[in-house]
Amino acid sequence: SDSQYTIDAVSKHAQRWLDEGFIGVANKHIIQALVGELMATKAEVRLRKVKGHSGDAGNDGADALAGEGARKDDPDDVDLSKGIAIRCLGAATTALTQSKAYRAIREFGPSEPRRRTERMLERTKAVVEELTDTRPTTAAIWNSLKRRKGATLTQKFSAYAWRTLHDGYKLGWYWENITALRNDRMPCRQCEAPVETMDHILRECTVSGQAVVWELAKELWAVTGLDWPYTANLVSC
């Protein structure tokens, strides 16, 4: 094969992926079936890396068949039955970490999108598009909170932004359907705003100290010589 990924999958990574239940592995159903086929065969299997498009009859023939399959309107049914037994094995507890266990739970079944999260994501996309003329994807937004290496984002800010994008703080509308606490918790009791949102706390509340913080931030920003950024949609930014 000219695919180093395929060769590594069955020669270097197969045992580790088996132990980990193939959690987070791309194209896992195909690789599980391939590993299942190799485990079921009694013949000796040898692997060899060949250069692509080098005149190797087997490899060039496989490329031709792959191209033919990609051009089909209706894909062929590929027998992946040997992967069923592999999937039933699950993951070994000795190979699991907390993050892998959480990811496995997430992969087990897609969760329904939260309306509040979807609303915040759409708001964020609209603001970024307004400022940059480019509309980010949902994946790009979430990934931007993970990439802290060489960036200015701290772990605490990333955690805060992640929770804010999920509209996950117990503020404002969170209390709307909790009758016993709604009138006490939903409004901002200090400045009597009808709904205490994160945006209200950061930009509007008269007693949260936000006005002083913003004045100090402007003084620091002036050192850069740049124009003061647009902050009307601060939470989305």
pLDDT of residue 51: 86
pLDDT in tens, 207-223: 888 889 999 999 999 99
Reference 172, options 204, 149, 198, 211; nearest CA is 198
Q: How far apart are CA 101 and CA 236, in angstroms?
A: 31
Q: Where are the alpha helices (DSSP H) in 49-137?
A: 57-70, 82-89, 98-108, 115-132
Question: What is the distance of C-alpha 178 from the center of its chain?
Answer: 31
Q: What percentage of the chain reaches a pLDDT higher than 90?
A: 24
Q: How far apart are CA 142 and CA 137, in angstroms?
A: 9
Q: How far apart are CA 199 and CA 119, in angstroms?
A: 14
Of the two residues 218 and 151, the one the predictor is more confident about is 218
pLDDT of residue 109: 67
The SS3 call for residue 133 is coil
- pTM check: above 0.75: no
Quick check: 157 pLDDT over 80? yes
Q: What percent of the residues of the chain are helix, what percent strand, and what percent coil, each to the nearest 5?
A: 55, 0, 45
pLDDT of residue 233: 64
Q: What is the largest CA-CA distance in the chain?
A: 78
